[in-house]
Amino acid sequence: MKKILIVVIVSFSVSKLHAQTAEDSVKATINQMFAAMKSGNAKALLYCFADTSTLQTILKDKQGKIIVRSEPITEFVKQVASMPKDAGDERIIFDAIKIDGAMASVWAPYKFYYNGKFSHCGVNNFVLVKLGSQWKIQ
């Protein structure tokens, strides 16, 4: 009975450790993206995304109608690279991270600062996919 209990505890600990490692890897990809954004490093920024990534923004127009705007990730990278280095600073809080196999979802409220001054805030919803050994933002 004692051996069975030890096996169960060890198995649970190993699976818990694996989940923490996956969560840390997902966070690392997102943190890497924000570091690349802040430094204006287009190559490092693009590396964080899957080839098929699309950026979507959900907003309201002047009449209050919800608009979904989609753009290829390459356009987003161009915009970020055109900003002066360290001008844009998006600060996030990892609120919820869910991982199932090769898919992860991250809910992260943010505050955006431009040249040290608060600009706006909102929430990011990232979907990541594990391609090989790397988590990529989809």
Reported as a single tens digit per residue, the pLDDT across 67-124 is: 999 999 999 999 999 999 999 999 999 999 999 999 999 999 999 999 999 999 999 9
Q: Which CATH architecture has domain 2-137?
A: Roll (3.10)
Average pLDDT across the chain, whole number = 89
Statement: the pTM of the whole predicted model exceeds 0.85: no
Q: How would residue 8 be classed by pLDDT, with cut points 50, 70 and 90?
A: very low
- Average pLDDT (44-71) is 95
88, 99, 118 from 105: Cα distances, Å: 24, 7, 27
Q: Which helix (H) or strand (E) holds 80?
A: helix 73-82
Domain residue extents for the chain: 2-137
- Average pLDDT (35-52) is 96
